[in-house]
Amino acid sequence: MRYWDASALVPLVVAETESGWARDRLAEDERIVTWGWTRTEIVSAIERRTREGALTLLQRRNLLRHFDTFSNNWDEVTDLLAVRVRANLLLARHPLRAADAGQLAAALLVQEQLSSPLTFICLDQRLAVAAELEGLHVMP
């Protein structure tokens, strides 16, 4: 099992330069765990691309339909209170945005429950550095 940040999941839904890399990582281990807010982050990415003209309305509709099916197959951390408490502490230690601190907090909760190293898949450099400093194995 690997923890997937939204930055690494978006290329699995929307064609990007990192899409091939993300598909290869998914092929290695198809079990995805992520935070409950990730769905909103990915919908935001799709909607932003539509507003910017990178996606047509038909592409948007198809991507949202595909994403709905895809996201039903992953596991989500839904303990908001535990994530929020840990995220607030992370914000004091690392230069993260709130949603990124939530992602990292959720991953740390998963690692704590597993009692073993957890791989954190992330394409956001600032978040990747914070995750490594917090003891996660970061990919790439």
What would the pLDDT profile of 52-63 be if each residue is shown by its tens digit?
999 999 999 999
The string of DSSP codes covering 40-71 is: HHHHHHHHHHHHTTSS-HHHHHHHHHHHHHHH
**Across 88-102, average pLDDT:** 97
Domains annotated for the chain, with CATH where assigned, are 2-139 (3.40.50.1010)
pLDDT over 90 (residue 140): no
In this prediction the pTM is 0.93
